[in-house]
Structure 1
Amino acid sequence: MRSRATRPGETYGVPGQGETLWLSIGSVMTFLFFWWMVTTLGWVEPLFMPSPQATVAKFFEIIDQGFTNTAFVHHVAISTARVFGAFALACAIGIPLGLAMGMSPLVRGIFDPPIEFYRPIPPLAYLPLMIIWFGIGETSKVLLIFLSIFAPVTLGARAGVRSAAIEQIHAAYSFGASRWQVMRYVILPSALPEILTSMRIGVGFGWTTLVAAEMVAATEGLGYMVLSASQFLQTSTVIMGIVVIAAIAYLFDTTMRMTEKKLVPWKGRM
């Protein structure tokens, strides 16, 4: 009996892209079914776990009426601007710095200790310092998110430099390539998979830090909405806000995966 031929990028015995999609759909549907069953049968009080239909109803209610006299779209826009503003700043500074750290022992020796020192510290630990130094305005919020994204993006770019084969670098120099040409045509393409992966990880940290950033003196944003609703035991609003944050983050992650396929189609096939 002949087995079917494997498609490009598919390993024998491993589910293909179509099978993986159906497995994911089945996993989500199973979770929703158990959520519906647990709440419908009254195994958990609605105060602690509202039903899926109550959460969906709350979602449309907030879309229609807003939250704390502010339109829901405005809350989404504010949080998205904070996260992606910090993300763009972290990439603009972190990627060149990471590449420089990977190529130069001098740059690595200067910047590696402070980055590695603050990287494992939870954002809530240095949130008070951000408030003392920069006040309770937008600067402290964006800077807190920036710091959570900056370390993984920088270290990812630094690690990506090591992906470039030394033979390719020496060959480029032997053909008369300049240092900039080696960076542009040899090192950067080799580091790009690691850079894109670190960007995906970094923006995930950014959304995680959003709630902490909006804990202090915030009057708008998804994190503020979740925290404010929790204080009044509006569990359906809390869950709805969490789902919206996860949906936006997942949409960005999917976009980054599509970008990876376009920019680095060889990733995972070598």
Structure 2
Amino acid sequence: MTSLIPFALYVGIFVGSYLIVNKLIRRAARTDFTALKTVTFGDESAVISDRTASIISVATLFLLWGMFTGSVLVPPFLHAPGPYIGDGQFTYVVEGPDGQRDEATVFWRVQDPEGETEKLTVDPGDGPARNDALMIRAYRSAQLSWDKNDEFKRKDGARLVEIAGQPVAYDPATRDEADSAAKPVIEVDHATVTLSDKGALIVTPYTGLQMEPIWLPPPEDVVKRLVDIASEGFRGATLWEHLGLSLMRVVVGFFFGSLIGIPLGYAMGLSNWFRGWFDPIVEFMRPVPPLALIPLVIIWAGIGELGKIILLFLAALWIMAIAARSGVSGVRISKVHAAYSLGASKGQIMRYVIVPNSLPEIFTGARVAMGVCWGTVVAAELVAAEKGAGMMIMVASKFQNTDIVMMGIIMIGVIGFGIDILMRWAERWLVPWKGKG
């Protein structure tokens, strides 16, 4: 249930922001063409991105990231509850083989994962059951053999009868603890206590809602790692060399995929023969994920640059072919008839009618293909690459350098978003007639 809390907060911020911005704050009415439209549902040109919503969306993601990692960039009062750091104790009662009972106390201390904690020492006492000291690392649990320093030994028939005042269930025939389903989970101050299968005490301090840095580091750690790698490099190459090589592979693979895919799509859209010949191949390969082709490409072309380029070429080829085919098939026949009536030749119809009207679909396919290629190159670099964003993430994950992994993911996302923005800009510049009939 605790994993749903960040999602619930995200939904709450989304709804609250929407109500505040669109309902409570009276913004000046738009006077552009979009505002004059009376029917906007289903009209793509009537829906534009709300920059305020975009800013709040990104800020919300970083706020949640900081809240659930204890970031110094977020005010402390907004931090989610962190792991318990400090001392605690509980008592247990031991019954010896002769029926004699004695009580002992377990003192435990949770260590701060980012600093040194003074070691805990306690007076063991004089009774048959001796007091114990237990050091526990934050976000972890610790196990204690309760009879390690006791006069009552488990091997001699001694057994636990109470933990923090709660009785422990036993099989009266064997005097062994009951199975794990019947073992109690005992709540003590700031922790829970239960029994292992071997009868040892397991102490689990409360972990709170914050993520351990090994799973999700705070934003400032990722920024620090970005600065370090940008200045010092990573495994013999700078950050920009890693990202630049990945981008180069994507551009080359996408270029050759488009170079063959677009003419193939045009041929399939204009010729029954080409459509019948290539349609089964294209439709067969379209649902095959590029990552499934990695073993085959390695067998064919090895693990060098050629293999990665071929994989990216195949990732872009089918998308661009389908986009071009869809663009040609979507050209209004009325425009073709109008061109014929004005005396246009087939070449002129192709140049002035088919190509311009199919370009919006081709640009949409190009945006999708670039995204797929950018995601595929990272996976391709996971296999025996010396440089690249994927290699950097793979090596970092082996050594549990989560901050480098997060840095790589963010850089990949930023570059992918930048590529998409450039594609949108090129589309607006080269195909200004999109959505205008």
The structure that has the greater radius of gyration is 2
Partner of 2:53: 23
Deviation at 1:8, TM superposition (A): 2.5
Which one of 253, 262, 267 corresponds to residue 420 of structure 2? 253
Q: For residue 24 of structure 1, what is the amino acid of its counterpart?
A: S
Bigger RCO of structures 1 and 2 (CA < 8 A, at least 6 apart): 1
Rounded Cα–Cα distance in structure 1 between residues aligned with 2:436 and 2:245: 39
Partner of 1:71: 238
Deviation at 1:260, TM superposition (A): 1.7
Superposition pairs of residues 118-267 of structure 1, within 5 angstroms: 118-267=285-434
Q: For residue 286 of structure 2, what is the amino acid of its counterpart?
A: R
Q: For residue 351 of structure 2, what is the amino acid of its counterpart?
A: R
CA contact (8 A) 1:153 1:199 kept: yes
CA contact (8 A) 2:246 2:378 kept: no
Cα RMSD (Å) of the superposition?
1.9
Deviation at 1:97, TM superposition (A): 1.3
- What TM-score results when the alignment is normalised by the length of structure 1? 0.93
CA deviation profile, 1:154-176 (whole Å, cap 9, x unmatched): 10110001221112212222333
State which drifts further: 5-14 or 241-250: 5-14
SS in 2 for 1:74: helix
SS in 1 for 2:283: helix
CA contact (8 A) 1:102 1:158 kept: yes
Q: Which runs of 5 or more structure 2 residues have no equivalent in the other structure?
A: 1-27, 41-45, 71-78, 83-209
Deviation at 1:16, TM superposition (A): 7.0
Deviation at 1:47, TM superposition (A): 0.2
CA contact (8 A) 1:6 1:12 kept: no
- What TM-score results when the alignment is normalised by the length of structure 2? 0.58
Rounded Cα–Cα distance in structure 1 between residues aligned with 2:351 and 2:321: 18
Q: For residue 26 of structure 1, what is the amino acid of its counterpart?
A: I
Q: Structure 1 pair 61/68, CA: closer, same or farther in 2 (3 Å)?
A: same
Of Structure 1 and Structure 2, which has the larger fraction of its residues in helix? 1
Q: For residue 222 of structure 1, what is the amino acid of its counterpart?
A: A
SS in 1 for 2:336: helix
CA contact (8 A) 1:9 1:269 kept: no
Rounded Cα–Cα distance in structure 2 between residues aligned with 1:245 and 1:201: 16
Q: Structure 1 pair 266/6, CA: closer, same or farther in 2 (3 Å)?
A: farther
Superposition pairs of residues 81-100 of structure 1, within 5 angstroms: 81-100=248-267
Superposition pairs of residues 3-82 of structure 1, within 5 angstroms: 4=29, 6-9=31-34, 17=48, 20-40=50-70, 41=79, 42=82, 43-82=210-249
Q: Structure 1 pair 28/12, CA: closer, same or farther in 2 (3 Å)?
A: farther
Q: Which runs of 5 or more structure 1 residues have no equivalent in the other structure?
A: none
Q: For residue 7 of structure 1, what is the amino acid of its counterpart?
A: D
CA contact (8 A) 1:212 1:223 kept: yes
Of Structure 1 and Structure 2, which has the larger fraction of its residues in strand? 2
Aligned residues: 267
Q: How many percent of aligned residue pairs carry the same amino acid?
A: 44
State which drifts further: 174-183 or 216-225: 174-183
Rounded Cα–Cα distance in structure 1 between residues aligned with 2:39 and 2:338: 39
